Amino acid sequence: EVQLVESGGGLVKPGGSLRLSCAASGFTFTTYSMNWVRQAPGKGLEWVSSISTSSSFIYYADSVKGRFTISRDNAKNSLYLQMNSLRAEDTAVYYCARLYDILPASNFDYWGQGTLVTVSS
Amino acid sequence: QSVLPQPPSASGTPGQRVTISCSGSSSNIGSNTVNWYQQLPGTAPKLLFYTNNQRPSGVPDRFSGSKSGTSASLAISGLQSEDEADYYCAAWDDSLNGVVFGGGTKLTVL
């Protein structure tokens, strides 16, 4: 069974940093591109970042470019999102999602349960 | 304003057919495939349709997807109470070099 489990969310002050993790299991992690998608409270879905299988291709939304860094450790079946210079508008539930196709694509076939990041003083 | 405008709400009675539209441009829907997601209250999104009109296993055939030019639509026939959810379209955007989501449509079953 495919499982994606996010962790690392919490309360952080504006300007602070946080690192999210996503532990993957139940599939061959090395053969799938991975992604982060977020959802602000009461709002719609917003794509954040994508990373290819070998980390050769990485994409970011303009809203996080230069502040967030996506990475993966294929030996540990894990995906990460390093978030720096956090702003109030980054407050959201962050989902880890597996990409069904190869990049560039937008068909996320499995999602984690999400981890809440709250940026507030 | 979302890159892929969707009607914010839709509604229907049990058994009815409902259609949700998703409008795009040549850089996203016009040149890439469209995917649809269903998000039930309090849960993570679920892939409902991929590559315009492909239904993952487990998705009832009451749901159908289509794409024409720079627009796409999701149709739900034989509406059921459990279909009450938020629905999002998504596509890769060649100009933005990233994924764009529709603003979402909240479906209410009356």
Q: What is the pLDDT of residues B66-75, one digit of tens each?
A: 999 999 999 9
Closest CA relative to residue A46, chosen from A33, A63, A58: A63
Average pLDDT, chain A: 97
Lookup: tokens for A105: 């694509």
The SS3 assignment for A88 reads helix
Query: What is the mean predicted confidence (pLDDT) over A78-106?
Result: 96
The predicted pLDDT at position B3 comes to 86
Query: What's residue B10's pLDDT?
Result: 97
Grade residue B53 by pLDDT with cuts at 50, 70 and 90: confident
pLDDT band at B13 (very low <50, low <70, confident <90, very high): very high
Beta strands in A76-114 (DSSP E): 78-83, 92-99, 108-111
Confidence of residue B52 (pLDDT cuts 50, 70, 90): confident
For residue A55, what are the CA distances in angstroms to A6, A32, A37, A84?
Answer: 19, 11, 18, 20
Identify the pLDDT of residue B108. Answer: 96
pLDDT value, residue A85: 98
| DSSP E strand boundaries for chain A | 3-7, 10-12, 18-25, 34-39, 45-51, 58-60, 68-73, 78-83, 92-99, 108-111, 115-119
Nearest CA in chain B to A5: B44
What's the CA gap between A81 and A114, in Å, rounded? 13
Interface residues of A toward B, Cβ cutoff 8 Å, are 35, 37, 44-47, 50, 59-62, 95, 100-101, 104-109, 111-114
Confidence grade of residue A110 (pLDDT, cut at 50, 70, 90): very high
The arithmetic mean of pLDDT across residues A96-102, rounded, is: 94
Q: What is the pLDDT of residues B29-48, one digit of tens each?
A: 999 999 999 999 999 999 99
Report the distance separating Cα B4 and Cα A107, nearest Å. 16
Most A CBs within 10 Å: which of B40, B89, B95, B99, as the mutation test of the A interface? Answer: B99
CB contact under 8 A, A44 and B37: no
